Structures are given as structure tokens and as C-alpha cells.
Amino acid sequence: MKKLFADIGIISVIYTLAYCFQVYVLVPFNSHERAAVFFAPAAVRLMCTLIYGYRACLGITFGSLIFYCLFDDTGLDDEFEFFMVASHSGLACGLALMVWAMLSRKVAGIRNPKVAFKSINALDVFQFSVILAIVDTVISHTLFIFFPNIMPDQSVYWVLVTFIGDLSGAYLIFILLNLCYSLGKRLVFVYHDYR
């Protein structure tokens, strides 16, 4: 039980920091307060959901709540709308993992999905990134339709921006981390060869 709470706490802190990085550092990519062309927290959603499974949903939800409570004023007076804005990303991660588990042979089980990390490749991660981007975009913009106070200026353009931001943030950062990992391993081998 301690491990569960520790995992959720770690994910919450990482997601909050990624959200702060997006809002305060990656300002040129923020097209709207609820949509960005390159959304870095999507990479945290992707990685944490792959590694932690459904536990990531709670961590991402708490991370969003922490971010909105401490660092960003949503402008929402209704507590239910505030909670829906904060929790939709966690819900999207859980649903996307469930869909991916039904579609992919490299994920075993739906109730407690186990990803076969030794057999997945970049195309599998891209498949999951697309599923996660679609599910998050559909949930968030459906939420915006039912609660127009959250994002009054709804349009197909903002739907596309959200989808592209989720996909580009998740997959491009995954590729960057993969390249850094490969480069780090090569540098270690080169260092050991010259010792």
C-alpha cells in the first residue's frame, strides 16, 4: 500500500512540474490557456501510464489538482467544473490504456494491463500516443461543450490544436528521451573503452 501511495505521489509531483514547465517556460507553444501546439505534460502522461498502468490516472489527476490549486487560476467558481478540468487527463489515461490493451497483443490483460516492454517498439508507443491523444482530446472537448464556462471559444481549430499538442508532446519527448538514453549508453561504452 505504501508503494501505491508513493507511486501516486511521485507521478503527481512530476506531472505538476511538467505542467509548470509548460505554462511558464514553453510559453510560445501555448495557443490558449487550455490548448497548446506542443504539450509537454502529455509525455508524462504517456510514460507514467506505460510504466505504472492505472495508478498513473490518480497521480495525473492529483498533479492537475495541485497545479490548478497552487500555480494557475482556472477562473472557475464551480467546484464540479474545477474538478472535471483537473481530472479529465487522468480519466483519459485510464481509458486510453484500456483501449490499447484491447487492441495490442503486446499488452496483457485489461483489468491490470502488463506491457511487454522487451517486445514493444517505437511504433507501439506511437500507437499508444495516438490513442491517448484522441481519447484526451475527445474527453476534454466534450467537457468543454457541456461546460462552456471552461472554454467558451470552442471550434474545430482548438480540437486540432489539442490533438496535435498531445501527440507531439508525448511522442517527440519520448523520441528525445530515447535518443538521450542511447547516447548515454554509447558514451558509457566509449568511456569504458578508453579507461
The full DSSP string for 98-157 is HHHHHH-TTEE-SSS-EE-TTT--HHHHHHHHHHHHHHHHHHHHHHHHH-TTT-SS--HH
111 pLDDT above the threshold of 60: yes
**pLDDT bracket for residue 190 (50, 70, 90):** low
Does residue 46 register a pLDDT over 90?
Answer: yes
The separation between CA 170 and the C-alpha centre of its own chain, rounded to angstroms, equals 7
- The packing angle between helices 2-24 and 41-52, to 10°, is 160
pLDDT band at 166 (very low <50, low <70, confident <90, very high): very high
pLDDT confidence tier of residue 130, bands split at 50, 70 and 90:
very high
CA distance 126 to 123: 5
121 by Cβ neighbours in 10 Å (0-12 / 13-18 / 19+) ranks as: exposed
Q: pTM for the full model?
A: 0.88
Cα–Cα dist 108/116, whole Å: 8
